[in-house]
């Protein structure tokens, strides 16, 4: 199916690498105006925006650390000042720290929850302030929530929170004609996933799904586009596990 997001304004958090970058690029290709959010890498954000513009798209980059509420507000204010509206929010930004419970520090815990849970929640709050009827919010969880992997307890806890935010906010957003859903990818062939893993570890994970391969960014992005489209208008409060039968 080919979608059109002509004249839609899309905010993508964590949009400089991996899945987030591909989401931003695909929306732009389909006619959307895209806000490329990033935290630190100015050059990479500029590269994404320049690539979109070179291909005939419309995009801006906005620096904002989504673990900080004031910076989240600035992200949304800059979007409104530039494009005058927000139609779609993709809460993609996140971090992963995986350690045995005895090695998790208070700093690790606080950082995980600040970015993954707090950031998502308060981006949703701002979306509720600015979005109109027909808006779409897509949060990012993980299929690890449905597994029992040593070392993933704190990380999975943050994503479990995201799934509950999604469920509990569905009726609040529904009153405004806005849908809110979560995507929970399985292992995806990105820099974040591959970092620190041996070839043997990756192959062991590959064997856990039904298709004998890692997911690719397009496998996830296609589901995001569906949930952002008019065809998904009767889906809200759901978490979709996009994982090739991983769990």
152 is catalytic: no
- What DSSP state is assigned to residue 175? T
Return the half-sphere exposure (C-beta side, CA atoms, 13 A cut-off) of residue 151.
Answer: 4
Burial 115-136 (b: 16+ CB within 10 A, else e): bbbbbbbbbbebbbebbeeebb
Quote the tokens at residue 97: 């720290």
CB hemisphere CA count around 141 (13 angstroms): 28
d(CA 174, CA 180): 8
- Catalytic hit among 3, 83, 152, 155: 155
Cβ neighbours of residue 234 under 8 Å, at least 6 residues apart? Answer: none
Rounded CA separation 31/56 (Å): 9
Distance CA 75, CA 79 (A): 6
Q: Which has the closest alpha carbon to 220: 142, 151, 167, 160?
A: 142
DSSP 32-53: -EEEEEESS-HHHHHHHHHHHH
Instruction: Give the residue from 239, 188, 181 showing the smallest Cα distance to 209.
Output: 188
d(CA 22, CA 15): 8
What are the catalytic residues? 155
């Amino acid at each position: 199916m080919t979608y059109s997001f002509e004249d839609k304004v899309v905010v993508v958090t964590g949009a400089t690498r991996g899945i987030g970058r591909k989401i931003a690029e695909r929306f732009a290709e389909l006619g959307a105006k895209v806000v490329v959010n990033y935290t630190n890498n100015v050059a990479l954000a500029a590269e994404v925006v320049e690539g979109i513009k070179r291909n005939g798209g419309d995009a801006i980059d906005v620096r904002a650390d989504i673990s900080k509420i004031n910076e989240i507000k600035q992200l949304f204010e800059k979007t409104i000042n530039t494009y005058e509206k927000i139609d779609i929010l993709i809460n993609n930004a996140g971090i992963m720290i995986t350690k045995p419970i005895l090695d998790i520090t208070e700093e690790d815990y606080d950082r995980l929850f600040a970015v993954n849970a707090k950031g998502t929640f308060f981006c949703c709050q701002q979306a509720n302030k600015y979005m109109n009827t027909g808006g779409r919010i897509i949060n990012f969880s993980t299929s690890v929530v449905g597994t029992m992997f040593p070392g993933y307890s704190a990380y999975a806890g943050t994503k479990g929170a995201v799934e509950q935010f999604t469920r509990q906010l569905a009726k609040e957003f529904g009153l405004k004609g806005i849908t809110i859903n979560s995507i929970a990818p399985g292992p995806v062939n990105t820099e974040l996933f591959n970092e620190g893993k041996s070839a043997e570890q990756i192959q062991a994970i590959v064997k856990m799904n039904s298709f004998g391969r890692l997911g690719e960014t397009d496998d996830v992005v296609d589901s995001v586009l569906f949930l952002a489209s008019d065809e998904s208008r009767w889906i809200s409060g759901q978490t979709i596990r996009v994982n090739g039968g991983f769990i």
